[in-house]
Amino acid sequence: MDDEENRPSHSREMDNQDSDNSEEWISSDESSSQQSKKQHEDARDKKRHQCTTCGYSSNRQDAFKRHVVTLTAEKPYVCEICNKEFLRRCHIRVHESQIVKNHSCEKCDKKYDSSSSLRRHVRTAHDKRLDHKCPVCNAEFAQASVLARHLKTHTRARDYKCDKCGKVYTREYNLKVHEKTHTEERP
């Protein structure tokens, strides 16, 4: 009985189904829950910042400002290197990291925008690491993509077909070069 006395009152009422108080507790709990939900929905529907152009609304001022800028087509962030304009600060940061090539190869002075690109260059151009081996002819390649292209020579899969004459190629590049023969363009 001591345990029963120490439990919160609503738990006791729930255990005693014959008690008139249990129905009151359930109905009062439901009404307060419903009331709380309604208040939450009302608050959610009443956003502090509302766009008069399209009806967009937000409680967050930064999100609302970002929305307004998209409507005006204003691009306030300008790259100091090439003068390209951007809508958001994060976009210009990505752009600048791509054009500012600050990863230099110590062996040939080529520059890359990322350390991973520089590592790939060193591995393929200088270290001559050929980590990808053809299972058919044992030819070795520095990159998996080059091996995949090479494997097509063994299967004779010719996935690239000229629409004009029907000639087929294993590589898309070779098809594009061929297609130029049908025009005045020289490859």
- pLDDT, one tens digit for every residue, the chain (187 residues): 444 444 443 333 333 444 444 444 444 455 666 766 666 666 556 668 888 888 888 888 888 887 877 777 778 888 877 888 888 888 888 887 777 777 888 888 888 877 788 888 888 888 877 888 999 899 988 888 888 888 878 877 778 889 989 998 888 888 889 888 888 665 4
All structural domains of the chain: 49-98 (3.30.160.60), 158-187 (no CATH)
Specify whether the CB–CB gap between 156 and 162 falls below 8 A: no
How many Cβ atoms are within 10 Å of 118's Cβ, its own excluded? 19
Rounded Cα gap, residues 99 and 82, in angstroms? 9
Provide the greatest CA pair distance for the chain: 100
Quick check: pTM over 0.85? no
Around 117, how many Cα atoms within 13 Å sit in the side-chain half-sphere?
A: 11
At residue 109, what is the residue type? D
Question: Can you give the pLDDT at residue 165?
Answer: 92
Q: Which residue has the tokens 């090539």?
A: 101
